[in-house]
Structure 1
Amino acid sequence: MSNPTVLFVCVHNAGRSQMAAGYLQALAGDRIDVLSAGSQPKDQVNPVAVDAMREEGIDIADNAPKLLTVDAVMESDVVITMGCGDACPIFPGKRYEDWQLDDPAGQDAATVRRIRDEIRHRVEILIGELTPPA
């Protein structure tokens, strides 16, 4: 049986979705495949988000924001949106969740850390739901 694939989507694919993808890769290892994308991707990942994740020992500095494609949604089992509203195409048979999280863009480090910690909490719950206990 193949791994479940999770797609994280936010508008710019520069903050929340990158942090979530970083956590899921670090915490789930090879048990879950991870994608992230944005409906209007920025040219680089938010440096404050990169720093906040580095504090957790997770390096997302080399990640590049990607444009959300229909293919990415089609190949995903779980699609988690973060404030991208109707930009995400909806397909039957997929699990969709919308995580209400503040956008870290333009926020100070303390605010971004709070968002990061909330993302980690939600990712840990998601891993528990998607993977059988070891």
Structure 2
Amino acid sequence: MSPSTSRPSVLFVCVHNAGRSQMAAAFLTHLAGDRIEVRSAGSAPADTVNPAVVEAMSEAGIDISAQSPKILTTEAVRASDVVITMGCGDACPVFPGKRYLDWQLDDPAGQGVEAVRPIRDAIETLVRALISEVTSD
């Protein structure tokens, strides 16, 4: 985190920005509040967030029904301290001085809510660990 930044910023990236990155961003916003700036984007964004993902997050008490997939921009990466990819391969631009993490998670695309729940729970666990990492400075 740079001295001029009052809070760390995290960008979650997956291909469609319709599942994993949306869940991760929602958990981070929900759990960290305004302590961390949160962004999510996709290298090839879908038209809408996966309905099974919306349902699975609703079961966890988080409403993401109003979210929409966003295109990954160079500016979003440049403005983030930590960039977490989830299966977007080499589509994410790399800048010096950024921290990059790759979370290996199943893709919820085309899956029912039963298949999305374990992915959601794994993301929540990773996000909780991330919060303690980036706010412990």
TM-score range, shorter chain: over 0.9
Tell me which residue corresponds to 1:44. 48
TM-score, normalised with respect to structure 1? 0.97
SS in 2 for 1:83: coil
Q: CA deviation at 1:107?
A: 1.1
TM-score, normalised with respect to structure 2? 0.95
Pick aligned residue for 1:2 from 6, 15, 31: 6
Pick aligned residue for 1:78 from 79, 82, 86: 82
Q: CA deviation at 1:132?
A: 3.1
Unpaired stretches in structure 2, ≥5 consecutive residues:
none
Tell me which residue corresponds to 1:66. 70
Tell me which residue corresponds to 1:105. 109
4+ long deviations beyond 4 Å: none
* 2:125 paired with 1:121: yes
CA deviation profile, 1:18-67 (whole Å, cap 9, x unmatched): 00000000000010000000000000000000000001110111011000
Distance 1:122 1:132 in 2: 16
* 2:28 paired with 1:24: yes
Q: CA deviation at 1:110?
A: 1.5
* 2:88 paired with 1:87: no
Unpaired stretches in structure 1, ≥5 consecutive residues:
none
Count of equivalent residues: 133
Q: State the AA in 1 paired with 2:108.
A: P
Distance 1:80 1:65 in 2: 16
Q: State the AA in 1 paired with 2:84.
A: I
